[in-house]
Amino acid sequence: MKSAKEIVAEAWHITVEHRNVLFRFGFIPSFFSILVTGWYVFYQVQAFRYSPFFSEEHSDFLIPFLLKVLDILGADSRIMTLSIILLIFILLGWFFAPMLCQGAIAHLVAQARSGRKMERGFFNAFFRFFPLLEITVLKRGMQPVSFFTEFSFVGRHLPGTVPLVSPILIFFVVLGLIVLFFCSFTTQAIILRDMKFTGAIGMSFRVVVENFAKTLKILVLFLLVELRVLVNILVVFTVPIVVVSVTGLFAQFLSDQAGIIIAIVILIVLVLMAAYLTGILFVFSEAIWTIAFLEFIQIIDEKDADDKELRKPIGETASYSSSIENS
């Protein structure tokens, strides 16, 4: 079995060698993720800015902001309709694109590793839509950002409860990270073993437990080599700041609508550049876990085959051995 370093190296080799096929499946979810995450960071910063933590006069930020945006867009019904359609499209892409693209990458990487033609990655993932959806809901609910969102809402409106809820938040964040770690191979189990929700979780838990040290080492190498977390943090913090600054700058010289249009153009350019970088890393990360799963599952299959042979009745085993010797 390959070492953790060899698995990471092979994943990067496949990512680079087959980037023309794989890149689109990394770019699309990264594009939607940056849009939504950028807005989320902007909202959290502004919400805390107007909260009792930083402002003596506590006021709600979100509603006045949305009313101002609606007032600007409401000047033209066509722009309003287009904005609503665009918002729905972005939200649907943010939720569904990552899980389908992860499944597609797992399927394509497995094909590339076995020397087969890389094809039907998206269709293979789409045909397993519901198991992937169930896993996605579980993982999204266990992400630290989900717990932070809920507890930050409570903390902003009930500041006195922060000392009380902080230990609870830490507990749930640690619990969520543990669950996510043991569910590292759920997508691969669904795509490559055609398992359902509970079977995929069970398979992932078994793979992690039986290869705990190596899985942990792969995770550490993955974070060190990829630096995806750092890239995402820089992206999601930079994009909203730039957009807000540009909007304010142009608003001083142009109308509100012109300032928004220019800011949107600049935002699209920045998002495309950021999605290109994070898209490559998205493919790389999925390739790592897919190759690791294939390596680990091969050992597990061989172990299960040996255990099955040992559990055979003595007479059957003896006759099997005799037939081997006679042949």
- The per-residue DSSP string of 113-125 comes to HHT-----HHHHH
Whether residue 308 lies inside any domain: the answer is no
| pLDDT at 325 (0 to 100) | 46
Whether residue 249 lies inside any domain: the answer is no
| pLDDT at 218 (0 to 100) | 83
Whether residue 320 lies inside any domain: the answer is no
| pLDDT at 197 (0 to 100) | 93
DSSP secondary structure letter of residue 196? -
Whether residue 246 lies inside any domain: the answer is no
Whether residue 305 lies inside any domain: the answer is no
Residue 250 main-chain phi, psi, to 5 deg? -75, -25
| pLDDT at 58 (0 to 100) | 60
| pLDDT at 150 (0 to 100) | 79
Whether residue 250 lies inside any domain: the answer is no
Dihedral angle at the C-alpha atoms of 307, 308, 313, 318, nearest 10 degrees?
A: -80
d(CA 87, CA 94): 11
Q: Which one, of 199, 142, 201, lies nearest residue 175 by Cα?
A: 142
* Domain, as residue range, for 140: 4-235+267-296
Count of structural domains, the chain = 1
What interhelical angle do 129-142 and 186-193 show, nearest 10?
170
| pLDDT at 138 (0 to 100) | 93
**Residue 191: which H helix or E strand, with range?**
helix 186-193
Whether residue 117 lies inside any domain: the answer is yes
| pLDDT at 182 (0 to 100) | 93
**What's the average pLDDT block by block, 10 residues per block, for the chain (327 residues)?**
86 92 93 87 78 65 73 75 89 94 96 91 94 93 85 75 83 91 94 93 93 85 64 61 62 61 73 82 91 91 75 55 46
**Residue 56: which H helix or E strand, with range?**
none
Whether residue 98 lies inside any domain: the answer is yes
Say whether 211 sits in a helix, a strand or coil. coil
Considering the entire predicted model, what is its pTM?
0.81
